[in-house]
């Protein structure tokens, strides 16, 4: 790990979850909260906007408040607000650059919470999920599912040995168990997008909505909302965007 730490990995015999030993290297790993090797950050945020808007428009109240937990530099929050969804930002580890003025404040609930490329970073995912489940009934996450058979750390890129930040890796069964501990049902595409929710959702609907072709066709029809950009400009400056 980080080219200088020998790290032990452990696999749960029941659900297949894989985690590292106690991650004593995290302070070193997060000297740069956004890893220099994460060159896919912008492309990933762009790719997530379309399925997210469709899922929130179809399965939730699109006019509600949403939170992006582990929101990084705020790029996704800004993109979702530009798309017309009232998103707020929360990230204990990273500086907010693009969503200033739209941070999370304690109190109240959210229609849904997103947590993209977050859960693999968590040494205690059950505890974190419990905190999120206390403020929402629906949590949309992205994390890569462990292949079967389980690869060795040096044979799969998602172990992220260069950055040292990925300490917990999941199977579908592990995500099911994690959600069940908080009364949440799992809906997943079986690859990288997963919905944990208390809502009653038809089995298979979520996986259908996040298929790239389906999202590309339906999002402009179902997920289109008026951008919050003009209103946000007024909130931040007291002036109207067209003046």
Q: Percentage of the chain with pLDDT > 90? A: 86
Residues facing residue 114 across a β-bridge: 68, 140
Q: Is residue 63, in this structure, part of any structural domain at all?
A: yes
Distance of alpha carbon 209 from alpha carbon 52, whole angstroms: 9
Q: What is the pLDDT of residues 100-121, one digit of tens each?
A: 999 999 999 999 999 999 999 9
Question: Alpha-carbon distance 38 to 45, whole Å?
Answer: 12
The predicted-structure confidence for 41-95, as pLDDT tens digits, reads as follows 999 999 999 999 999 999 999 999 999 999 999 999 999 999 999 999 999 889 9
Q: Which of 202, 204, 198, 205 has its CA nearest to residue 184?
A: 198
Residues 6+ apart with CB under 8 A from 177: 14, 15
| Contact by Cβ (8 Å): 74, 89 | yes
Residue 54: closest CA among 175, 214, 234, 190: 214
Look up the domain containing 194 and give its range.
Answer: 9-236
In a domain, 4, yes or no: no
Is 194 domain-assigned?
yes
Residues 164 and 10: their CA atoms lie apart, in Å, by: 16
**pLDDT, mean over the chain:** 95
Strand partners, 9: 20
Range in 16-20, 175-179, 180-184, 236-240 with the lowest mean pLDDT: 236-240
Q: What is the mean pLDDT of residues 112-135?
A: 98
Helix (H, G, I), strand (E, B) or coil at 134: coil
Total domains in the fold of the chain? 1
User: Model-level pTM greater than 0.85?
Assistant: yes
- pLDDT at position 33 is 83
Q: Has residue 3 been placed in a domain?
A: no
E-strand stretches of the chain: 9-11, 18-20, 65-69, 86-90, 112-116, 138-142, 168-169, 185-188, 193-197
- Distance separating alpha carbons of residues 42 and 221, to the nearest angstrom: 25
Q: Of how many residues is the chain composed?
A: 243
Q: For residue 32, give the CATH number of its domain.
A: 3.40.50.150
């Amino acid at each position: 790990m980080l080219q200088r730490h020998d790290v032990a990995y452990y696999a749960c015999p029941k659900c297949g979850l894989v985690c590292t030993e106690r991650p004593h290297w995290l302070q070193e790993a997060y000297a740069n909260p956004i890893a220099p090797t994460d060159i896919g950050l912008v492309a990933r945020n762009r790719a997530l906007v379309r399925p997210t808007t469709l899922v929130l428009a179809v399965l939730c109240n699109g006019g509600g408040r949403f939170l992006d937990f582990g929101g990084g530099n705020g790029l996704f929050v800004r993109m979702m607000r530009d798309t017309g969804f009232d998103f707020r930002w929360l990230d204990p580890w990273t500086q907010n650059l693009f969503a200033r003025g739209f941070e999370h404040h304690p109190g109240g609930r959210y229609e849904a919470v997103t947590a993209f490329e977050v859960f693999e970073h968590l040494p205690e995912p059950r505890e974190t999920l419990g905190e999120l489940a206390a403020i929402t009934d629906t949590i949309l996450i992205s994390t890569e599912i462990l292949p079967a058979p389980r690869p060795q750390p040096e044979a799969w890129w998602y172990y992220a040995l260069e950055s040292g930040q990925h300490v917990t890796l999941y199977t579908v069964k592990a995500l099911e168990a994690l959600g069940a501990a908080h009364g949440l049902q799992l809906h997943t595409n079986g690859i990288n997008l997963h919905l944990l929710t208390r809502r009653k959702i038809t089995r298979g609907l979520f996986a259908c909505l996040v298929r790239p072709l389906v999202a590309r066709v339906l999002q402009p029809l179902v997920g289109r909302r008026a951008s919050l950009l003009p209103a946000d400009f007024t909130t931040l400056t007291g002036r109207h965007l067209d003046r």
